[in-house]
């Protein structure tokens, strides 16, 4: 048997659900244990059948806090140690609490750029640019082999310089690059967050009433973009309790917008406030009421507001007498696929019925096909093992030598 074996248990043929094993000298690393994106949220038993759950000396490494990378963590044996960035653990716990759950695992935190030894493996995590906060690439050395796992990444967000720096000075002698290819075969927009900021400024300036924006609270790059655009147009960004909680949770990890900053207001809706109070977070709700605003107030001074919206918030707003008008605009600033679901359609109808102008401004959380090629060429691995994509079989031009594996098929390195 070879000194190092790579097995991609899942994600060679799909976007997400990553589960990748590196085995050497009787030890194993599992890079991400993601929930498949198409799995129902209550489905269990999703661990790939080829992953041996009885093997000792196994550690799990979580590249970033997206469900398609950590969603099956609790289905792995409790004896397996878990490694991640510090902010990643915080966001994973925060997300679990929203669903009334607790994560019964202890995490060991790595420091970006610093090597961590796990059994015979030497792991260097590199902070990277992605729509998730605290996303990492992982450089792994074992038995004379060198592997780079891209996790999810892009080269057009607010941390793009991190990717550029790695491309300028790539780790030497990479044998295998495990790289995502989400956007292969698409022409999804990959404009920069800075370009989006300019578009939002234009939208805020040209809208006489309120601007409603739907975005993911954990897409911190987008929160920063919207806050900056609000500041430059004299508007106030209105976020919900959950986004305020995310902002607070990340205050230790950089100078990021906080709920008590000027030109930010927290809208305290009854359903979310009830949820936090039910789980005993009265102090948090009371504090937020301090910088807060009731939904009813959003019916006045309309030209002042940039208002977070999502299907459940729209229902709360409607109950408080806040409904869209032809003076208002709305922007769906996340993956447009969610709009096709039933509650997305209801949101769309809410704005259409009110006559609000639609102006959807978004950019992908993943690298464009051109950036995937540029990154892979810069790293220049002996072999590229494709993952996290659906077009790898049709679109291989311009990449380093590709070694295509199937889910669960071991590859000797």
Shortest Å, Cβ 385 to Zn ion:
16
Shortest Å, Cβ 18 to Zn ion:
7
Judged by CB under 5 A, the chain residues 166 through 195 that form the site for Zn ion are none
Residue carrying structure tokens 């244990």: 33
Total residues interacting with Zn ion, rule: CB under 5 A: 5
Shortest Å, Cβ 11 to Zn ion:
8
In order of 4, 7, 23, 358, 376, the CA distances from 57 in angstroms are 15, 16, 10, 53, 31
Instruction: Select 8 or 288, whichever has its Cβ closest to Zn ion.
Output: 8
Instruction: Select 207 or 333, whichever has its Cβ closest to Zn ion.
Output: 333
Q: Judged by CB under 5 A, which stretch of 63-71, 120-128, 224-232, 300-308 contacts Zn ion? A: 63-71
- Output the six-digit token pair for 398: 């311009």
355: helix, coil or strand? coil
Instruction: Select 4 or 367, whichever has its Cβ closest to Zn ion.
Output: 367
Interacting residues of 361 by C-beta distance below 8 A, sequence separation 6+: 196, 199, 200, 203, 331, 333
Alpha-carbon radius of gyration of the chain? 22
Residue 68: Cβ within 10 Å count: 22
Instruction: Select 307 or 387, whichever has its Cβ closest to Zn ion.
Output: 387
Instruction: Select 119 or 185, whichever has its Cβ closest to Zn ion.
Output: 185
In order of 295, 311, 328, the CA distances from 314 in angstroms are 10, 5, 14
Shortest Å, Cβ 278 to Zn ion:
30
Shortest Å, Cβ 298 to Zn ion:
32
Interface with Zn ion (CB under 5 A), residue from 32, 89, 129, 152: 152
Instruction: Select 76 or 128, whichever has its Cβ closest to Zn ion.
Output: 128
Shortest Å, Cβ 284 to Zn ion:
27
Question: If binding is defined by CB under 5 A, does position 68 make contact with Zn ion?
Answer: yes
142 neighbors 117 (Cβ within 8 angstroms): no
Shortest Å, Cβ 123 to Zn ion:
19
Handedness of CA 120, 125, 131, 134 (dihedral sign): positive
Instruction: Select 68 or 240, whichever has its Cβ closest to Zn ion.
Output: 68
Nearest C-alpha neighbor of 320 from the set 238, 392, 397: 238
- Output the six-digit token pair for 217: 């609270």
Residue 16: Cβ within 10 Å count: 24
* Contact mark string toward Zn ion, 226..265, x via CB under 5 A: ----------------------------------------
Q: Judged by CB under 5 A, which stretch of 146-154, 165-173, 271-279, 402-410 contacts Zn ion? A: 146-154
- Output the six-digit token pair for 190: 């990959």
Q: 176-180 and 145-149: which strand pairing? A: parallel
Instruction: Select 132 or 203, whichever has its Cβ closest to Zn ion.
Output: 132
Q: Judged by CB under 5 A, which stretch of 2-10, 62-70, 242-250, 345-353 contacts Zn ion? A: 62-70
Q: Judged by CB under 5 A, which stretch of 103-111, 132-140, 248-256, 267-275 contacts Zn ion? A: 132-140
Residue 370: Cβ within 10 Å count: 12
Instruction: Select 66 or 156, whichever has its Cβ closest to Zn ion.
Output: 66
Instruction: Select 71 or 259, whichever has its Cβ closest to Zn ion.
Output: 71
Shortest Å, Cβ 249 to Zn ion:
18
Q: Judged by CB under 5 A, which stretch of 13-21, 116-124, 142-150, 183-191 contacts Zn ion? A: 13-21
Question: If binding is defined by CB under 5 A, does position 66 make contact with Zn ion?
Answer: yes
Q: Which residue spans within 3-68 are E strands per DSSP?
A: 4-10, 19-24, 27-33, 58-61
For residue 270, the number of C-alpha atoms closer than 13 Å in the C-beta half-sphere is: 7
Interacting residues of 355 by C-beta distance below 8 A, sequence separation 6+: 324, 325, 326
For residue 258, the number of C-alpha atoms closer than 13 Å in the C-beta half-sphere is: 11
In the complex, which residues of this chain contact Zn ion (CB under 5 A)? 16, 66, 68, 132, 152
């Amino acid at each position: 048997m070879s000194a190092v074996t790579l097995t991609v248990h899942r994600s060679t043929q799909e976007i997400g659900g990553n589960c990748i094993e590196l085995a050497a000298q009787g030890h194993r690393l599992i890079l991400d244990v993601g929930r498949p994106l198409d799995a129902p949220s209550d489905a269990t038993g999703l661990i790939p059948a080829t992953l041996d759950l009885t093997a000792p000396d196994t550690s799990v490494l979580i590249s970033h806090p997206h469900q398609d990378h950590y969603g099956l963590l609790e289905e792995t044996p409790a004896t397996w140690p878990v490694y991640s960035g510090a902010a990643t653990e915080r966001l994973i716990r925060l997300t679990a609490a929203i669903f009334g759950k607790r994560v019964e695992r202890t995490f060991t935190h790595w420091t970006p750029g610093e090597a961590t030894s796990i059994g015979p493996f030497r792991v260097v995590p590199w902070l990277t640019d992605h729509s998730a906060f605290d996303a990492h690439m992982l450089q792994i050395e074992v038995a004379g082999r060198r592997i780079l796992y891209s996790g999810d990444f892009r080269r057009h967000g607010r941390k793009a310089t991190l990717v550029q720096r790695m491309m300028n000075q790539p780790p030497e002698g990479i044998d295998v690059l495990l790289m995502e290819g989400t956007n292969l075969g698409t022409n999804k927009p990959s404009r920069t967050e800075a370009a989006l900021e300019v578009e939002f400024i234009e939208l805020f300036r040209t809208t006489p009433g309120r601007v409603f924006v739907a975005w993911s609270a954990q897409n911190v790059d987008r929160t920063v973009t919207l806050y900056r655009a609000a500041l430059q147009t004299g508007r106030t960004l209105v976020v919900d309790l959950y986004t305020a909680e995310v902002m607070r949770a990340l205050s230790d990890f950089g100078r990021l917008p906080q709920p008590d900053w000027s030109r930010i207001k927290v809208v305290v809706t009854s359903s979310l406030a009830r949820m936090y109070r039910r789980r005993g977070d009265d102090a948090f709700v009371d504090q937020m009421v301090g910088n807060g605003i009731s939904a009813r107030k959003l019916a006045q001074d309309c030209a002042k507001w940039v208002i977070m919206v999502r299907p459940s918030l729209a229902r709360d707003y409607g109950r408080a007498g806040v409904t869209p008008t032809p003076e208002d605009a709305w922007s769906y600033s996340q993956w447009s696929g969610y709009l096709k679901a039933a509650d997305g359609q209801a949101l769309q109808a809410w704005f259409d019925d009110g006559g609000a102008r639609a102006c959807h401004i978004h950019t992908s959380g993943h690298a464009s096909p051109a950036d995937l090629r540029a990154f892979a060429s810069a790293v220049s691995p002996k072999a590229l093992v494709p993952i996290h994509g659906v077009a790898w079989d049709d679109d291989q031009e311009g990449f380093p030598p590709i070694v295509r594996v199937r889910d669960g098929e071991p590859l000797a390195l």
